[in-house]
Structure 1
Amino acid sequence: MPGPSPDLVLALLADARLPVGGHTQSAGLEPALTYGGLTAADVPAFLGGRLATVVAVEAGTAVVARHRALTGGALADVEEAWAARTPSAPLRESSRALGRGYLRLAQRLWPGAEPLAGLGRTPPRPLVLGVVAALAGLDPGRLVRLCGHEDAATLGAAALKLDPLDPADTVAWTLAAHPRIEELARRLAPLTEPDEIPATGAPLVEELSLVHARTTQRLFQA
């Protein structure tokens, strides 16, 4: 019996109800609203900034990890490249927490799959997503779209918990972001080597994550 189509797997992985801990994240929105002076009206611009910086790093890392998983290459230098482009310790820890959730799910869905063994015990999310994409037959373009859509949807879901908004507005934000996600897919899909991963810093996101990590009254981990 053939396996599920890549499009169905993509829909599954993009589902916010996936048991990987995504509900604990705000994609940086909570600290941005609390300490960064943003309002709900600024969220679309904030999302655009994340797509150009944070998401570009995450998606690029995932694409290279997918390539390594398919070619039997090591993932250690891919993880090092991701860490060098993610200087905030709280953001690295958050990504590893999500990575453990994805890894647990992947081990359940693809038991004994050799590429999963190379991820170690605390892999960051983009590495696991890259390996999962290889196992599920997702091409690089779909993988980048998944990373971009997930970030946009995470922001939208967090916004509804942090500010009284019309849910239709958050869906409109996500849809409006899709042309930028398509541009990312065109640019990042050909990547194969760690040094090709974008090094697009997001100093404000990094700084606010450090402030957020010291806060005891918060809804989200990051």
Structure 2
Amino acid sequence: MGSPELVAMMLADARLPTGGHTQSAGLEPAVRAGLGADGNKLAEVEQYARDRLRTVTRVEAGTAVVARQLTEELAALEHAWAARVPSQALREVSRRQGRAYLRLAGRVWPQVLHHLQADAEVPRPIVVGVVAAVNGLSAAQTARLVAYDDAQTVVAASLKLLPVDPLDAACWLAAVHPDIEDLVADVAGLTRAADVPAYGAPLIDVFAQNHSIERMRLFHA
């Protein structure tokens, strides 16, 4: 077991070989649909990150927190997660990312394979939750990791999709820190799959489905 703080920092590092650079947290299709108005309304990026933290990211963080308990049957937890993610495209993306995380975990934290089958396509939040469990991360650390990673993914993608000043992007990320802490407070106490929030963002689902069949795209999702 490593230092929980350092493990959390490692998992939040986009340089890990988990394919994070291929993700925009749905920002690319949202920009295609008009978010940011070609650089005229860049503050919408911050609001988009905040909206995700209030909805779909709560589902992800709650799932990871419950998975961390290692008391809930993980297959049942996956069913509960899937019921809260209506977009088939988003479910597939999460499972591909989960496989990448599981491949990494199998080498770095092999204890994870006591709970999950190697090379399985398990949703990313479940793999993150199990990694958190074997490394001693608290529920709050686990939720904070998922929330920060989501917001950072949005902000990092904006630098490639819109004419964004990196200093502005850093300000946006700092501005959503209270929203991240609200999310942590909301989900850190969860222990059962049935308690995972069921917040939705229908436009994000629609954008994801449309993006999955785009022939030219910068990010996978």
Task: Report if the CA contact (8 A) 1:152-1:174 is conserved.
Answer: yes
* Equivalence map 1:146-185=2 (5 Å): 146-185=145-184
Q: What SS does the aligned partner of 1:129 have?
A: helix
Aligned length: 216
Instruction: Compute the displacement of 1:183 (Å).
Output: 1.1
TM-score (norm 2): 0.94
1:200 is matched with which residue? 199
In the alignment, structure 1 segments of 5+ residues that lack a partner are: none
Distance 1:55 1:176, change over 3 A: same
| Separation in structure 2 between the aligned mates of residue 112 and residue 48 of structure 1, nearest angstrom | 34
2:35 is matched with which residue? 38
Pick aligned residue for 2:66 from 60, 64, 69: 64
Aligned residues: CA RMSD: 1.4
Task: Report if the CA contact (8 A) 1:28-1:209 is conserved.
Answer: yes
* Equivalence map 1:31-180=2 (5 Å): 31-35=29-33, 37-39=34-36, 40-67=42-69, 69=70, 71=71, 73-117=72-116, 121-180=120-179
1:217 is matched with which residue? 216
| Separation in structure 2 between the aligned mates of residue 218 and residue 113 of structure 1, nearest angstrom | 34
Instruction: Compute the displacement of 1:175 (Å).
Output: 1.1
| Separation in structure 1 between the aligned mates of residue 106 and residue 113 of structure 2, nearest angstrom | 10
| Separation in structure 2 between the aligned mates of residue 113 and residue 94 of structure 1, nearest angstrom | 21
Letter paired with 1:105: L
Task: Report if the CA contact (8 A) 2:8-2:145 is conserved.
Answer: yes
TM-score (norm 1): 0.93
Task: Report if the CA contact (8 A) 1:103-1:116 is conserved.
Answer: no
Summarize deviations over 1:24-66 as a string: whole Å, max 9, x none. Answer: 100010000002x210221111111100111000000000111
| Separation in structure 1 between the aligned mates of residue 75 and residue 118 of structure 2, nearest angstrom | 8
| Separation in structure 2 between the aligned mates of residue 181 and residue 19 of structure 1, nearest angstrom | 25
Q: What SS does the aligned partner of 2:14 have?
A: coil
Percent sequence identity over aligned pairs: 52
In the alignment, structure 2 segments of 5+ residues that lack a partner are: 37-41
